[in-house]
Structure 1
Amino acid sequence: MLPSVEEFPYAIRVVSEVVSSNGSTSQGSICGSTLAPMDAGVPIKAPVAGISCGLIQDDNGGFTTFIDIQGVEDFHGEMDFKVAGTKKGITAIQMDLKNDGLTMEIIKNALEITGDARIEILDQVMLPCIAAPRSEVSRYAPKMITMHIDPDRIREVIGKGGSVIQKIVADTGAKIDINDDGSIFIAAADATSGEAARKCINDIVFVPEVGKLYYGRVVRLMTFGAFIEIAPGKDGLCHISKLADRRIEKVEDACKVGDMMWVKFMEIDEKGRWNLSHRDAMKEIEEKKAKGEPIQ
Structure 2
Amino acid sequence: LALKLFKDVEKEIVRGAILRDGMRIDGRDTKTVRPIDCQVGILPRAHGSVLFTRGETQALVVATLGTGQDEQIIDALEGEYRENFMLHYNFPPYSTGEAGRMGSPGRREIGHGKLAWRAVRPLLPTKEAFPYTIRVVSEITESNGSSSMASVCGASLALMDAGVPLPRPVAGIAMGLIKEAEGFAVLTDILGDEDHLGDMDFKVAGTERGITALQMDIKITSITEEIMKVALEQARDGRRHILGEMSKALTNARDAVSDNAPRITTFNIPKDKIREVIGSGGKVIREITETTGAKVDIQDDGTIKVAAVDANAANAAIDWIRGIVAEPEVGHIYNGKVVKVVDFGAFVNFLGSKDGLVHISELAQQRVGKTSDVVKMGDPVKVKVLGFDDRGKVKLSMRQVDQQTGEDLGSARRQPEPAQAAV
**After TM superposition, is the score higher than 0.5?**
yes
* 1:121 alignment counterpart: 242
1:187 is aligned to 307
1:13 and 2:148 equivalent?
A: no
CA contact (8 A) 1:139 1:191 kept: no
C-alpha contact 1:54 1:69 (8 A) present in aligned 2: yes
1:99 to 216, 220, 225: 220
CA displacement, residues 253-283 of structure 1 (integer Å, 9 cap, x when unaligned):
xxxx7569xxxxxxxxxxxxxxxxxxxxxxx
Identity of aligned residues (%): 51
1:33 counterpart = 2:147: no
Mapped partners of 2:176, 2:169: distance in 1: 24
Match of 1:110 among 225, 228, 231: 231
Find the residue that maps to 1:17 and give its secondary structure: strand
Cα offset for 1:113? 1.7
Counterpart code for 1:56: I
**Would the alpha carbon gap of residues 259 and 36 (structure 1) be closer, same or farther in structure 2, given more than 3 Å must change?**
same
SS class of match (2:135): coil
The question of 1:197 aligning with 2:317 is answered: yes
Correspondence for 1:86 among 181, 204, 207? 207
The 5 A counterparts of 1:128-147 are: 128-147=248-267
CA distance in 1, matches of 2:161, 2:325: 35
Give the SS at the match of 1:16: strand
Query: Structure 1, residues 219-265: CA drift from partner, whole Å, max 9, x if none?
Result: x9xxxxxx46699969999xxxxxxxxxxxxxxxxxxx7569xxxxx
Does the C-alpha gap of structure 1 residues 202 and 93 become closer, same or farther in structure 2, counting only changes over 3 Å? same
Distance of 1:83 and 1:235 partners within structure 2: 67
What does residue 269 of structure 2 align with?
149
Q: For the Cα contact (< 8 Å) 1:53–1:81, is it kept in 2? A: yes
**Where does the alignment leave 5 or more consecutive residues of structure 1 unmatched?**
208-219, 221-226, 238-256, 261-296
2:176–2:186 CA contact under 8 A, matched in 1? yes
What is the CA–CA distance in structure 1 between the aligned matches of 2:144 and 2:156, rounded to whole Å?
21
**Larger Rg belongs to:** 2
TM-fit CA distance, 1:202: 4.4
8 Å contact 1:140–1:190 — kept in the other structure?
no
Distance 2:237 2:292 in 1: 51
Could you say if the C-alpha distance between residues 78 and 160 of structure 1 is closer, same or farther in structure 2, counting changes exceeding 3 Å? closer
Q: 1:70 deviation in Å?
A: 2.0
Structure 2: runs of 5+ lacking an equivalent: 1-122, 336-349, 352-382, 387-404, 409-423
Cα–Cα, structure 1 residues 185 and 100, in superposed 2: closer, same or farther, change >3 Å?
A: same
The letter for the 2-side match of 1:174 is A
Contact conserved, 2:173 with 2:203, CA < 8 A, in 1?
Answer: yes
SS for the counterpart of 1:12 is: strand
Equivalent position amino acid for 2:252 in 1: A
**Cα distance in 2 between the residues matched to 1:85 and 1:11:** 23
- CA deviation vs aligned residue, 1:174-228 (integer Å, no higher than 9, x gap): 2323222111132335333123322443466579xxxxxxxxxxxx9xxxxxx46
Distance 1:202 1:136 in 2: 26
Give 1:49 deviation, angstroms. 0.4
Give TM-score, length-normalised by structure 1. 0.62
Tell me how far 1:157 sits from its aligned partner: 4.1
Q: How many residues align?
A: 224
Contact kept, 8 Å, 1:41 with 1:134, in 2: the verdict is yes
The amino acid across from 2:295 in the alignment is K
SS at match of 1:194: helix
On the 8 A contact 1:149/1:182 being kept in 2, the answer is yes
